[in-house]
């Protein structure tokens, strides 16, 4: 298994915040149970989400929150510029593929 340090981002600032927190808990638990190094981060504001220092120690960011359409694409683009791997959907955690 490839060892990567994964950040699970959840919460967010939309009306779906509570659902995102529950989703983040589930993703975090599943990754942890499958042997991945993982941290859960509760993102509360757009400013916090765009704070590049928050992600400096991670190889992969798993996004479990929603935001306005333009803001989410800008957010993903900023993470890609940091050469981070991103996931915002996953089908099978045991077969996790590292995408960019």
Which phi and psi angles does 57 have, rounded to 5°?
-95, 5
**Dist. CA 29–CA 36, nearest whole Å:** 10
Q: For residue 73, what is the DSSP state? A: H
| Residue boundaries of the structural domains of the chain | 5-66+85-95
Q: Both tokens of residue 5?
A: 């340090």
Note the pTM of the prediction, 2 decimals.
0.75
Contacts of 39 (CB under 8 A, 6+ apart): 5, 6, 7, 8, 58
Q: Are 27 and 89 in contact (CB under 8 A)?
A: no
Domain 5-66+85-95 listed as CATH 3.40.50.20: yes
pLDDT digits (tens, 9 = 90+) for 2-44: 567 899 999 988 888 999 999 999 999 999 998 889 999 999 9
């Amino acid at each position: 298994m490839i060892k990567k340090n994964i950040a699970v981002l959840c919460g967010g600032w939309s009306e779906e915040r509570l659902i995102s927190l529950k989703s983040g808990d589930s993703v975090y638990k599943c990754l942890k149970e499958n042997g991945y190094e993982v941290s859960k981060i509760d993102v509360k504001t757009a400013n916090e989400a765009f704070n590049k220092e928050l992600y400096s120690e991670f190889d992969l960011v798993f996004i479990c929150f929603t935001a306005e359409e333009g803001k989410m694409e800008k957010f993903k683009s900023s993470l890609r510029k940091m050469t981070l791997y991103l996931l915002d959907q996953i089908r099978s955690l045991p077969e996790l593929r590292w995408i960019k």
